[in-house]
């Protein structure tokens, strides 16, 4: 029997804290005070009889019992959201929206063509494409805010409750402006990096561990001058205007390199190669429209040069 003390606000509050690992951020998202969030979580734990969250440094961590409950809480909110969307769609004569999470590299390389193919089918479905860090997209998928994520394969410990379908593999590249000094035949690669500003993926980025290992393996423990960023618009403009070096997924800059605006340094990055694909919740049942969008994504990915 469902405990009558557990309300939708308990599920929403728990999901927001779990997603952001922060009471403060959850309070901001829910437009309530931090004490209100803390009180709601305490009520939920009293009703469940177990702890679902615990402090982890300055943030919050989901407990083992919390991880179990999170899957069901997220699925419940997702089902409720889909029900509301379906009723609204029926009333307005429109199909329920599709919610897709895509890494920036996928948003640049895959989604535009896939969306054109999907829209040509005139399903009437609305589509929301969300771009961000892989970890945040997976949390949104876990709690039902997204229907699918197109991105790199996450670490095994982060794939609980998910299925993954490989589409293609991708490396990072060391990218510079056309005419950069390091493109000359005399440039020696890694030892030259310390002489330039280097744009690095953030520590939360899924490609950052690959980049760190590559640098350490080639004798670079630290970079004297570097900027951490996930902004591709900033990275693109900064590199074009300076002699900076941008360490970025190949798909983000593929068009710039093809146009001759940017160039890839002759550095072996094969060890950073990782699988990019489709991540979905195991308990989710794709709608016909989502199946069609997935087929479009597969078709575009299959046409990429390997």
The full set of domain ranges for the chain reads: 8-68, 94-169+274-302, 172-272
For residue 291, report the phi and psi dihedrals to the nearest 5 degrees.
-60, -40
pLDDT tens-digit profile of 232-249? Answer: 889 999 999 999 999 999
- Once rounded to an integer, what is the mean pLDDT over residues 88-102? 68
Which residue in the block uniquely carries the two structure tokens 């709690």? 143
Model pTM?
0.67
pLDDT tens-digit profile of 210-227? Answer: 999 999 999 888 888 999
The residue among 76 and 51 whose pLDDT is bigger is 51
- Once rounded to an integer, what is the mean pLDDT over residues 238-265? 93
**If pLDDT is split at 50, 70 and 90, which confidence band does 301 have?**
very high
Share of the chain above pLDDT 90, in %: 35
**If pLDDT is split at 50, 70 and 90, which confidence band does 1 have?**
very low
Q: Is 184 helix (H, G, I), strand (E, B) or coil?
A: coil
On the question of pLDDT at 272 being above 90, the answer is: yes
- Once rounded to an integer, what is the mean pLDDT over residues 154-178? 91
Contacts of 146 (CB under 8 A, 6+ apart): 99, 100, 101, 130, 137, 140
The class (CATH top level) of 8-68 is mainly alpha
Share of the chain above pLDDT 70, in %: 92
In angstroms, the CA 54 to CA 188 distance is 49
| pLDDT value of position 193 | 87
Can you say whether residue 50 is alpha, beta or left, with left for phi > 0 and alpha for psi between -120 and 50 degrees? beta
pLDDT tens-digit profile of 276-287? Answer: 999 999 888 888
**If pLDDT is split at 50, 70 and 90, which confidence band does 92 have?**
very low
CATH architecture group of domain 172-272: 3-Layer(aba) Sandwich (3.40)
User: Is residue 132 within 8 Å of 19, Cβ to Cβ?
Assistant: no
User: Is residue 113 within 8 Å of 143, Cβ to Cβ?
Assistant: no
| pLDDT value of position 3 | 60
According to DSSP, the β-strands at 172-177 and 245-249 are antiparallel
On the question of pLDDT at 32 being above 60, the answer is: yes
- Once rounded to an integer, what is the mean pLDDT over residues 81-100? 64
On the question of pLDDT at 299 being above 90, the answer is: yes
User: Is residue 28 within 8 Å of 90, Cβ to Cβ?
Assistant: no
pLDDT tens-digit profile of 167-217? Answer: 999 999 999 999 999 888 666 678 888 889 999 998 888 899 999 999 999
94-169+274-302, what's its fold?
A: D-Maltodextrin-Binding Protein; domain 2 (3.40.190)
- From the number of C-beta atoms within 10 Å of its C-beta (0-12, 13-18, 19+), residue 259 rates as exposed
| pLDDT value of position 279 | 95
The residue among 2 and 111 whose pLDDT is bigger is 111
| pLDDT value of position 122 | 73
- Once rounded to an integer, what is the mean pLDDT over residues 120-142? 84
- Once rounded to an integer, what is the mean pLDDT over residues 139-155? 89
Domains 94-169+274-302 and 172-272 fall in the same CATH topology: yes
């Amino acid at each position: 029997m469902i405990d009558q003390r557990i309300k939708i606000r308990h599920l929403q509050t728990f999901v927001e804290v779990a997603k952001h690992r922060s009471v403060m951020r959850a309070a901001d998202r829910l437009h309530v005070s931090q004490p209100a969030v803390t009180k709601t979580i305490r009520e939920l734990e009293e009703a469940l009889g177990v702890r679902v969250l615990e402090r982890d440094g300055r943030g919050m961590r989901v407990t083992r019992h919390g991880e179990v409950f999170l899957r069901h809480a997220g699925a419940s909110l997702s089902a409720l959201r889909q029900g509301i969307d379906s009723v609204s769609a029926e009333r307005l004569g429109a199909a329920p929206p599709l919610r897709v999470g895509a890494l920036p590299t996928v948003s640049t390389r895959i989604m535009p063509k896939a969306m054109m193919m999907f829209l040509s089918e005139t399903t009437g479905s609305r589509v929301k494409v969300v771009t961000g860090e892989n970890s945040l997209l997976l949390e949104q998928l876990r709690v039902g805010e997204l229907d699918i994520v197109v991105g790199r394969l996450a670490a095994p410990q982060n794939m609980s409750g998910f299925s993954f379908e490989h589409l293609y593999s991708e490396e990072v590249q060391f990218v510079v402006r056309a005419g950069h000094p390091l493109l000359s035949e005399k440039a020696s690669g890694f030892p030259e990096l310390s002489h330039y500003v280097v744009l690095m993926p953030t520590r939360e980025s899924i490609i950052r561990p690959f980049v760190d290992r590559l640098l350490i393996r080639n004798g670079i423990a630290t970079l004297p001058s570097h900027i951490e960023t996930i902004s591709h618009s900033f990275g693109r403009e900064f590199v074009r205007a300076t002699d900076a070096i941008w360490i970025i997924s190949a798909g983000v800059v593929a068009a710039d390199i093809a146009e001759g605006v940017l160039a890839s340094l002759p550095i072996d990055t094969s060890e950073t190669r990782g699988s990019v694909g489709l991540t979905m919740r195991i308990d989710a049942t794709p709608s016909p429209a989502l199946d069609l969008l997935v087929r479009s994504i597969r078709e575009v990915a299959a046409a990429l040069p390997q």
